[in-house]
Amino acid sequence: MGVRATMGIYLDPISTELGMSTGAFGLAIAIQNLVWGLGQPIAGAVADKYGSGRVLISGGTLYAFGLFLAANSNSTTEITFSLGVLTGLGLAGFSFAVILAAVGRLVDESKRTMALAITTAFGSVGQFFLVPTVQAFIDSAGWRKSFALGVVLVFAAVAAVRPLRSASGNRGVEETTGTGRQTLRRAFRHRGYMLLLTAFFVCGFHVTFIAVHLPKYLEDLGQSTRVAALALASIGLFNIAGTIGIGWLGSRYSNTALLAALYAGRAVVFSAVVVIPMSAPVALIGGAALGLVWLATVPLTSAVVLKQFGPEHAGLLFGFVFLSHQIGAFIGTFGAGVYRDAYGSYRGFWWIAVFLSICAAIMHLYIDEEPGGAPMSSQRLRNWVTSPKVKTLGGAASVIVLLVALGAWRFSAILADPTVQVEQAAFFCALHIPGGPLG
């Protein structure tokens, strides 16, 4: 996963040499994430039945081949195929859905959350070391030759999959009954699982948007490529502490409550990244803060799925959870590129990320993480949707969305026509009513 985290620092050199727009490169990485997500349920199901080792070796080999082709690409189409389609297919069999399911089977439930957290954190160890290393390779040898480092490391990782090759692992009394199809049918009628799917979409939106576009965002604000690379590396370093810390907390407190707190924390950090004037120290501190809430959601989300349905079909169930994640990643990556090309800035896109953080935090307050949680029958879903608490939250959210939309519409008029008075744009702010604090 450390190799995957370096994609953001390739945006500038590849787009400059090949004449690609930010949106075109974002689309290539967005396709990678979408293909990755679509392949994960299949890879997870195959790993559940035939063993994780075969799937990991196949995925790693395909991933390395995609990197090799990217190094020899000379057009937007070739970059899209190599970094988009091929590496996406490789990642489907060489990432979280397969690895975490295998780890979940091998570890006792009392230690499972911590084991999942440590496994996730080691992906960030790679990010911390590889981002500045790859940046140095690009500066000295060019972006094409730097892909060789990724190919070598991926093959080294393939050679280390032997401990995860077991197909059955450690199931014991937790083994679920029924086929994968029956388990999946139960899962899609389970309110907690469906809310988890929806909320993890937000995680994918956040993580890939930042991983791909943070360097460019910082450069737009006057920071050097070195500072941008160090900020991205800081995310990886501090994610180690954040993920292991959340693993420790997850074995003692409610996983869903911790997830709600993490998404709320993201909203605060994202807001600060936009509001605070950018400088090199702020960029590095911002990277550290982002790291603390970066992938800490992954072990908690995986642990909740294992609690709900057990480890027997974990690969299949994780696959659909991570599919939702990758759909979010597709929208976040491609959308951010298109947004910047249209408006010349990422600023507004950060506020979209803040809004989604708040939505995800609220969703986790309604997730039941216990085994055999209430299925989401049509009647139960209607009762839940029409409950007073949900109606109140929905009404409040609707009002907030409406006011934000109206405010954004009026502020857009200022950008289009500087003669428009600020007071007109602030019409919907209560502070600016006649006689109010700001008059």
Spatial contact of 298 and 116, defined as CB atoms under 8 Å apart: yes
Task: Work out the mean pLDDT of the chain and round it to a whole number.
Answer: 77
Distance CA 145, CA 176 (A): 48
- Topology of 4-162+178-368 in CATH? Growth Hormone; Chain: A; (1.20.1250)
Instruction: Kindly state the tokens that stand for 367.
Output: 């997730």
Q: What is the pLDDT of residues 409-436, one digit of tens each?
A: 544 544 455 444 444 444 334 334 444 3
Q: Please say whether the beta carbons of 323 and 38 come within 8 A.
A: yes
Give the pLDDT confidence score for residue 267 in this predicted structure.
93
The domain limits of the chain are: 4-162+178-368, 382-439
Average pLDDT on 101-108 reads 73
Taken in order 179, 185, 186, 192, is the CA torsion positive or negative?
positive
Query: What predicted TM-score, i.e. pTM, was given to this entire model?
Result: 0.66
Quick check: 196 pLDDT over 80? yes
Report pLDDT for 349.
92
Q: What distance in Å separates the CA atoms of residue 352 and residue 146, rounded to the nearest whole number?
A: 34
Residue range 89-101: average pLDDT?
79
CA–CA separation, 266 and 209 (whole Å) = 13
User: What tens digit of pLDDT does each residue of 296-345 get?
Assistant: 888 888 888 888 787 777 778 888 888 888 888 888 888 888 888 888 88
Instruction: Kindly report the number of other CB atoms within 10 A of residue 179's CB atom.
Output: 10
Q: What is the pLDDT of residues 136-166, one digit of tens each?
A: 888 888 889 888 888 888 888 887 776 655 5
Gyration radius of the chain's alpha carbons: 22
